[in-house]
Structure 1
């Protein structure tokens, strides 16, 4: 091996709900190639410890906004290009390592366990001896097949994901450490993999609150144990319906007894705590949440319209919540409580608004072009408050002022996570009475702004009331779908085969 190992970078990431009619296309991944990938990750830039420790070479990385199932044609298009780049790289040089940069909850038409399938294709090109380090979202799913094909695998330890970059850097640092520790014969560490029959949404497993807070606090403690390289806990992804959808613990290291006992400890803690998981905020129907917000003495009062959360895989164009909001007589007057609603896509509505201009009064129809399972398109009349161009996701955004509601309409769907998402539209969320956002738990900036908040249990492709969705393929019994288990689950970790022959 040369002084600096050569490490390729590849991966596709998309959190996809199978309970929305939306489909995710190749363009949604905004794929990066070659040096574009290195440019994205500051910790790999020249002059940094990691950047100088290896020769990093980008193949193809694509991260899509969560949404519906990825079409097979789109997956094959991106996967084939990725494999082509890696094959070209492998013929011109020796690849020593691969950073597999994924989410872990991507569903593809006609493929179960898409991330394991993609890595299988990658292994066919780069060979079984290349060391692979994978970084995932803790809401991903780690099948035995995926764990089997990786040498190192880790995930976020915070929900909301304030440690995304830290996790990606850890995956790369662990790989470099492994490659440079024994450059002529890199040893493969042991992995203890333990599936847990629990499948909960992120809104019940936030690390801001117990019991997830204490569960994830065990991770750095175990990681610091002699003989352990990394410890990780995956909550799993609730809004898919594949056999791999369940919680998982993986502990990686050198000592068989230590990694096995550590994985069993984490898995047992998770299982024993299953009854203690609850929503991260008070919940209610949409009407109950609005009523609570209107009588609250604290401002701003935030409400999560959770069933159509585009950052969990919702289509973003379900009109159910906005229709309920605009039907309220107490919000149909200009001097009523100020309510901001984010958001609803409506490409044709945007065209009309742009043509009319700021200050004009227009009647437009938006929403339900993708997901009309819960409600149809909504027609609104109001004054154009603002228009903004050039957003990465929305492309064009506008605000329609109708009654005392400021409804954000977008050309394409967009999540609203930051204060400047609102202020750039001439909206002041801190001064509003109620701010309604299509989201689950509040992202950090919204959480900091909210004087109080509730999570509305609304319909959509990422419905928090899981039994309404109709899972058919997950293993049963599974908590909380089933509350009675014929016997306690066997949480004994499985050690993953490590030989080159096994990988082949």
Structure 2
């Protein structure tokens, strides 16, 4: 006899952003895309059919600086009010939270923990809550206390993001179908690690993350996840973490401790996926290379890690290089959010000679803005992410200026501006490790260790709020105790 599964009611919502507290940028209404209703549910590809999915609100933004208190207050209140109304209309069985895990909010420490606790206060202990997260998120005790099922991407770059979302939803439904109340084994690892040193193309991250499917497949285990944590926020919760969920408390504790100890043992082995150097050395290496395209990561101001996107440092180094200044060599620099300079270029028009100031529009104060003089060689109006965009060519340097923060992750981002990384000696991109499209195209790549809100040299950022001791701020610290905390649903 075939049994028809019970029809569950599961609410869906969240706030998703990665926030550097070292970035001057503040993320507010203009930065977030907010969806509700069927548009929210349309984000997901394969929602279980025997579930009534109840959309609340979801807000997502490009990584940046801390979220304004006003935006968080308004959006979280809408989510909680919607949740309260939905639960009153007919009792909910589950809640799925679509979050990042590294959201910092002005005056709200542990923002995701705060949101999860407020959700739990509405639905009570009888409702199962799951969440999908980014591995660069942070897992505080408050968060894991209030979320029954936590999972994270297993690939960096995050090519498996849709799979992670699907896993978080499917595990929630499977637990409801099976009447399972998962326990969690949670342990933190006192390591601050920039994500660019934990690319899963490389060891030791490849091997550590490679252990997870086999652990998840064990009887008594529901899910196993590792978090790198977020190094560019200065909060006590910022550190690596492991959570293993399941029904066998001894087994999940043993596996969580095993993973945490392995992470700690490998802490000194994490490295960049490619050669790293200061900006001047990186530029020289690119110009001397034989094959194109050659990419330089302008890593300290990477907007997809939380950088403000308005740091002009690497542009100053490109303009200072004699061969580039004279037009004897060529480079693309993408990009800088510079709305006033960009507007002046648009007003002047294609082919015009302009002199504009670039840098610091969002508050970067690590150096003065730079004067950029050259020809307006491209204008693109109304880009969905960057708004209006202009290219100014000075000597051999093609500088991309945008109205809004925009990452350059695809070759098509350049070609629609009339630029081709294969035709220039160096393509400088505000990025960390190369995302797949650029990685596949690259004939050469170097990590530029540049300044900004996501400086790869985390020791020089000056953390004061993280819990100490922590590696590498305290290299001589003793080995921690990795006995997990067991949290019962």
| TM-score scaled by length of structure 1 | 0.94
| Root-mean-square deviation (Å) | 1.4
- Residue 53 of structure 1 deviates from its aligned partner by 2.9
Give 1:469's aligned residue: 461
The number of equivalent residue pairs is 486
Give 2:153's aligned residue: 156
Give 1:360's aligned residue: 352
Give 2:107's aligned residue: 110
Distance 1:440 1:109 in 2: 26
1:488 aligns with 2:488: no
Give 2:443's aligned residue: 451
Contact 1:134/1:152, CA 8 A, preserved across alignment: yes
Give 1:47's aligned residue: none
Of 262, 276, 283, 2:276 maps to: 283
Of 189, 211, 228, 2:221 maps to: 228
Cα deviation code 1:285-335 (max 9, x no counterpart): 10000011111112111100111111111100011111121122211223x
Contact 1:8/1:58, CA 8 A, preserved across alignment: yes
Give 2:136's aligned residue: 139
- Residue 393 of structure 1 deviates from its aligned partner by 2.0
Contact 1:97/1:130, CA 8 A, preserved across alignment: yes
| TM-score scaled by length of structure 2 | 0.97
Cα deviation code 1:126-176 (max 9, x no counterpart): 232211011000000001110110111100001110100000000000011
Distance 1:366 1:179 in 2: 54
SS in 1 for 2:192: coil
Give 1:8's aligned residue: 11
SS in 2 for 1:281: coil
Cα deviation code 1:267-300 (max 9, x no counterpart): 1111111111112211111000001111111211
Of 60, 65, 68, 1:68 maps to: 65
Contact 2:324/2:397, CA 8 A, preserved across alignment: yes
Of 31, 37, 44, 2:40 maps to: 37
Distance 2:131 2:30 in 1: 23
Distance 1:34 1:416 in 2: 31
Of 87, 98, 101, 2:98 maps to: 101
1:438 aligns with 2:425: no
- Residue 368 of structure 1 deviates from its aligned partner by 0.7
Distance 1:451 1:2 in 2: 53
Distance 2:388 2:128 in 1: 43
Range that drifts further, 1-10 or 160-169 = 1-10
Contact 1:35/1:57, CA 8 A, preserved across alignment: no
Distance 2:214 2:350 in 1: 56
CA distance change for structure 1 residues 89 and 27 in 2, over 3 Å: closer, same or farther? farther
Distance 1:19 1:83 in 2: 29
Cα deviation code 1:326-345 (max 9, x no counterpart): 122211223x2221110111
1:308 aligns with 2:285: no
- Residue 390 of structure 1 deviates from its aligned partner by 2.1
1:378 aligns with 2:375: no
- Residue 41 of structure 1 deviates from its aligned partner by 1.6
Give 1:128's aligned residue: 125
Give 1:193's aligned residue: 186
CA distance change for structure 1 residues 303 and 176 in 2, over 3 Å: closer, same or farther? same
Cα deviation code 1:368-422 (max 9, x no counterpart): 1223322222221212111112222211111111111111100111111111111
Distance 1:200 1:389 in 2: 38
CA distance change for structure 1 residues 131 and 146 in 2, over 3 Å: closer, same or farther? same
Of 304, 308, 312, 1:319 maps to: 312
SS in 1 for 2:156: coil
Distance 1:324 1:40 in 2: 41
Give 1:417's aligned residue: 409
Gaps of at least 5 residues in structure 1 are: 45-49, 499-504
Contact 1:347/1:366, CA 8 A, preserved across alignment: no
